[in-house]
Chains A and B, each alone.
Chain A
Amino acid sequence: MPYYDTSQEWLRQSALLLEARPSTTRITTKYHITASSARRRARDLKRLKAQQESEPTTTTTSTTTKPPRGFLTLKTFDPHSGTTLKYKTTKAAEVSRLILSLGQLGRRMAALPEPEGRDAVMADAPVATEGGGEAAVVVEEKEKKSEPATTAGKGGQGQGQGQQSGGGGGGVGKGKKKKGKK
């Protein structure tokens, strides 16, 4: 159940998972807000318990006026194999890009061909994956219940697809470079 460091990697892996199990995989987006003061209070309480009766008032008064902080967690989960892929962020700047990448993954869920510009790659991709894909599928059928085996099969199957999502990753990569400059 890994958390990925970059959204590109999450997107790539999720695309591969969807490729292997398009009808059972679901993507959950959780937007969660925690009151920062409550968090601090809990921490302070712990600290107080540890210290035991050492001026409780001074530590609690310093915690106020911080706005609540939210975070966003993206989770791709396939109940059949138990595969879970996650990505977590607190940056508002990433939201619309992430939702649009949900849209890209949605295209795969809907079994639509890749958007224009990648059609050329897609045109021969099915042929390429057919051979490898068939073998991987057989492996999956045999060992449906065992999680590591299915993920291995998925990896083999995904090879043909690697280039396309790589292309998508390249586009997003630009955004990352910009971030690096500041």
Chain B
Amino acid sequence: MAHSSNDEFFAKLVELFDYRKGKDHGSIVLTQKRLTYDQPLPEATSDTILPDLHPPQPMPILIRATNAKGKEKRRAKEKVKLSTVVDADNLPAFFERYAEVCKVGMNTLKPRDRRRKGKAKKKKGGAAAVGGP
């Protein structure tokens, strides 16, 4: 399957998160790794035993996203798989946008506690919460 462009990837990722919003269970899995397929690397010599440690030029990064469906769901074409390749130059811009999309999409996580004052009066419960990780 061909990789999407970065813009396409973000559009589809937002869809993926939106689809999850109405549901009360399920997962979204995001993966990143160095893209090594079809990338030029110098031969391993006695000087450089592992040439991947110091590649001559920066390597692109492969980003994947799925809705973690398997087996029957995969047969029913419900599995969504997205992937994109980010060039080394685009990394900071990409991840800023990525962070924004994830922040908006992951809305079932615990929001920051804004009832500090009420909690301070109750005190003991609050102290225990702060002690936690």
Question: Could you list which residues of chain A lie within 8 angstroms of chain B, going by C-beta atoms?
Answer: 5-6, 22-35, 37-38, 67-72, 89-93, 95-96, 99-100, 102-103, 105-107, 109-112, 126, 133, 137-138, 140-141, 179-180, 182
Contacts and interface: CB of A to CB of B under 8 A. Distances in A.
Chain A interface main SS type: mixed
Contacts of B34: 22-23, 25, 109-111
Contacts of B45: none
Given A29-B31, A68-B25, A141-B49, A91 B59 contact: no
Minimum-distance CB pairs A-B, first 10: A103-B95, A70-B108, A99-B99, A26-B33, A35-B24, A92-B109, A68-B24, A23-B52, A110-B88, A29-B30
Which label, helix, strand, loop or mixed, suits the secondary structure of the B interface? mixed
A70 B91 contact: no
Contacts, number: 150
B106 A95 contact: yes
Nearest to A66: B24
Contacts of A105: 32
Interface in B47-61: 49-50, 52-55, 58-61
Contacts of A102: 32, 95, 98
Q: How large is the interface on B (under 10, 10 to 19, 20 to 34, 35 or more residues)?
A: 35 or more
A30 B30 CA distance: 6
